[in-house]
Amino acid sequence: MKVTVNARKVFVNQVFSDHIEKKLAKFDKYFPGEASATVKLSRIRENERVEVTIQQGSFLFRSEDENDTFMNALDCCMDAIERQIRKNKTKLTKRMRENIRIPDYTEEDISALDGEDEAFQIRRKSFVLKPMTPEEAILQMNLLAHTFFVFNNMDTGETCVVYKRRDGNYGMIEPEK
C-alpha cells in the first residue's frame, strides 16, 4: 500500500511516519490490488487530529478522530476503518467483481465568500458523478461516514441525493419532472 503523510502545522519525524506505514500495512490483506492511503495530521487547539483515507480503485474508506495524542487518534481511525471493511465485506467483494465505479473525490481549498461578512466561509468540493443505483450510493455514503451522498441515478439519469434519516432509515431526494 502506498502511504502519503500530510502534516499541517505539525512536524512528523521518520519514526512516527514509519509507525503509520506499519499500522496501515495490516490492511494489505483486505486489498488485493494497488491501494493508496493518505494520512492527514493537524493540531486543533489542545487536541491532535488524524484523518485517514484509503482508496482502492474507486472505493474510499475514511475515518477521522481527535484525541490527546496522534497515536491514540490513529488507533481510533484504524479501528473505525477496519469496522467499515468488515461490515461491508460481502457487499464490497460483490461490487468489486462487478467493476462498478464510484466517484473519486478531489478536495479544494476553503475559500471565503466575497462580501461584508468575513466570518462566513464555504467549504467547496467537486467530484465526478458516475451512474449508480441508490443502494450503491448508500453503501458509498456509509463507507465515507457521511450523512448524505450525491450521485447520478443509473435508472433515471437524474442527479439525486441519498441521506441518512434520524430514525436510522434512508431517504432519497430526486428532481421533480
What CATH number did the domain enclosing 116 receive?
A: 3.30.505.50
Which tens digits make up the pLDDT trace of 121-171?
778 888 788 889 999 889 888 888 888 999 999 988 899 999 998 888 999
* Residues ≥6 apart with Cβ < 8 Å to 162: 134, 137, 138, 141, 148, 149, 151, 170, 171, 172, 173
Sign of CA dihedral 76, 53, 95, 130: positive
> What CATH number has the domain bearing residue 38?
3.30.160.100
Which tens digits make up the pLDDT trace of 20-74?
999 888 888 777 678 889 999 998 888 899 999 988 876 788 999 998 888 999 9
Q: Is the model more confident about 134 or about 112? A: 134
Q: Quote the pLDDT of residue 120.
A: 60
Select from 73, 89, 110 the least CA-distant residue to 29: 89
Sign of CA dihedral 116, 117, 123, 126: negative
Of the residues 82, 98, 114, which one is the last residue of a structural domain? 98
The model's pTM: 0.56
* Residues 91 and 116 reside in one and the same domain: no
Q: Which domain holds residue 141?
A: 105-173
Q: Quote the pLDDT of residue 101.
A: 43
User: Is-contact 2 38, C-beta < 8 A?
Assistant: no
Cell numbers for 157:
439519469
